[in-house]
Chain A
Amino acid sequence: MFDLHFIHAAKNGLRYFAKDRFMFDPLFPNVSERMKARMFQWLQDNEVKFDAAYTGGAAEGLPLVTVELTEAYYDSQGLGNHAFSSTDDDGRVFHRFHLFTSQEVRINIYAKEMEAVRLIHKLIQATMLLFHKSFINAGYQNVLYTGTTPLVPELALEGEGLNVYGRQVRYAALHLLEIPGYIEDLNNIGIYDPLLDIQVALDDTTPLESGVPGAVTVSSNSDS
């Protein structure tokens, strides 16, 4: 989902920064007023399109941002992928299992104007900073900028007026997949572990040949 979440954030981020010079100007604190003005104006005059890569539909027009998703292993997993136990609404205890993954989005920027590629690159970085908290709230443990490839022409698109420039920005997010361990095997899919569903009670009766007074007895069998 990191790619879909990214597209949502980036599209809204560009809209946010393009709305007002008050939001836009702080991204470029040192450049001249003339350069800021022309970049902001370009944002007003051009609609940056967003899409997932390889959708099969006709490619959107330029300028264009497409997003790919990859996932890498994370080498610090909990022992046996076990997590803490929880209690459900019925008071039953169940185990949790977890998997840490490192999800990575590769964001491809395409535009005919070199300056536009630079601008979109900066806007994406700013967007990811702006919405960092939203990603954390969405369950990502952390979001890291992991680099950008050089700005190069995309030769496959030279039919589009000869020069289309491209650049790939990468972000990685530590993600925790955590599931409730309700089942033990494929034979009882959807059934609670019966061992966790048996009610017991302390009984006053001491079993025969037992030196310990009282006993724990089953008060109800599993209803699973």
Chain B
Amino acid sequence: MDFPSVDQSLTLTRADFDLNTFRRLIAQKGLILEWKQTGECPCQPKSEDQGFDLSDIDDVDSGTGNSMACPVCNGTGIVYHSPQDVQAIVTSAEGEYLNARYGGYREGLVSITLNPEHLPIFGDRFTIKDSVMLYRETILMKAGQNIYPLRFPIASRTVTLATGEATHDIIYLQVADANTGLGIPGDHAQDWRGVNQGFVITGDGKLQRNNINRLQDGMRVSLTYFINPSYTVVSYPNSIRDTRIRKKAASDKHVPMPVRVQAKLEFLELEG
């Protein structure tokens, strides 16, 4: 059965979406995010590797999954490409701390609203370059190793205090005795910092040990430091929420609207 709609006049007042105003809002208020797009890696291990040969026939390949030896995806099946900085409105941050079977975990979800040309797909990664959050982790000092890439690059935050403007990166550092495993009281985020004092932070956000008498081999070192939070897109963008407008035009025109996606906080490590 057909259901024909009545003719609707389109010449009177219209309520068109003002895309330019919204773009201006993003340009004025949007945060700067690094956007990495994703694609599927075409790698696949060959089934002949499995050592299972069917007798008397010419076996065809039945490989499945991705190969952990793949130089492109390292077996994850995901390829990150085209990194670029974009502006976006980040809202609706929510989440909670979980003491899960895989350990302490911060579950986080945000909404990211972008200009129409920045259309992400699930799996894409956004790193908020303007904002920071605190992260905790404990690392082990190993003999012969002085550069320690933490799970996330160490970021910094500048704030105005009663004493003036101050920039912070690592705000807490405590060690445990290498022999007993017991914690040694004391925060050394400040007094062990500097040339030959204990540690410095490299330009790319790693911890560099420079005094093995303080940060001794075998010591566990707990750190609380700032990171730029990164998020993985977990929803399809609502790009079908497009519209038709006729502003300063004789006829309607299809216009793509800003897009919004939901993304989950990456907590275990940056890009695995």
Contacts and interface: CB of A to CB of B under 8 A. Distances in A.
B231 interface: yes
B66 A115 contact: yes
A113 B66 contact: yes
B107 A156 contact: yes
A42 interface: yes
B123 A161 contact: yes
B75 A160 contact: no
B246 to A, nearest CB: 40
Given A55-B104, A61-B151, A163 B68 contact: no
Interface string B51-65: 110000000000001
A41 B71 CA distance: 12
B51 A30 contact: yes
A129 interface: no
A216 B48 CA distance: 85
A112 B102 CA distance: 14
Nearest to B75: A113
B123 A160 contact: no
B49 A32 contact: yes
Given A38-B68, A56-B99, A162 B108 contact: no
Contacts of B267: 59, 159-160
A178 to B, nearest CB: 30
B135 to A, nearest CB: 8
Contacts of A91: none
Contacts of B50: 30-32, 35
Contact of A59 (B103, B108, B123, B263): B103
Given A35-B50, A115-B68, A162 B101 contact: no
Given A31-B50, A113-B76, A162-B78, A59 B66 contact: no
B236 interface: no
Interface string A158-169: 111111000000
B104 A112 contact: no
Contact of B75 (A28, A31, A42, A57): A42
B75 A32 contact: no
Contacts of B68: 38-39, 42, 113, 115-116, 119
Contacts of A42: 68-69, 75
A132 B11 CA distance: 84
In this complex, the interface size class of chain A, counting residues with CB under 8 Å from chain B, is: 35 or more
Nearest to A64: B102
A53 B263 CA distance: 26
B264 interface: yes
A62 B232 contact: no
A1 interface: no
Interface in A104-127: 108, 110, 112-116, 119
B204 to A, nearest CB: 18
B66 A114 contact: yes
A15 B135 CA distance: 29
Nearest to B230: A159
Interface string A138-163: 00000000000000001011111111
Contacts of A51: 103
A163 B77 contact: yes
A197 interface: no
B96 to A, nearest CB: 12
A25 interface: no
Interface in B221-272: 231-232, 234, 263-269, 271-272
Contacts of A157: 102, 105, 268
Contact of B125 (A37, A113, A115, A161): A161
Interface in A32-54: 32, 34-35, 37-39, 41-42, 51, 53-54
B107 to A, nearest CB: 7
Contacts of B136: 57-58
Closest 3 A/B residue pairs (Cβ): A59-B103, A159-B264, A113-B75
Interface of B: 38, 45-46, 48-52, 65-69, 74-78, 98-105, 107-108, 122-123, 125, 135-138, 151, 231-232, 234, 263-269, 271-272
Given A110-B102, A159-B264, 11 more contacts: A35-B45, A38-B45, A41-B69, A58-B135, A64-B103, A66-B103, A157-B105, A159-B266, A160-B267, A162-B122, A163-B78
Interface of A: 28, 30-32, 34-35, 37-39, 41-42, 51, 53-62, 64, 66, 68, 108, 110, 112-116, 119, 154, 156-163
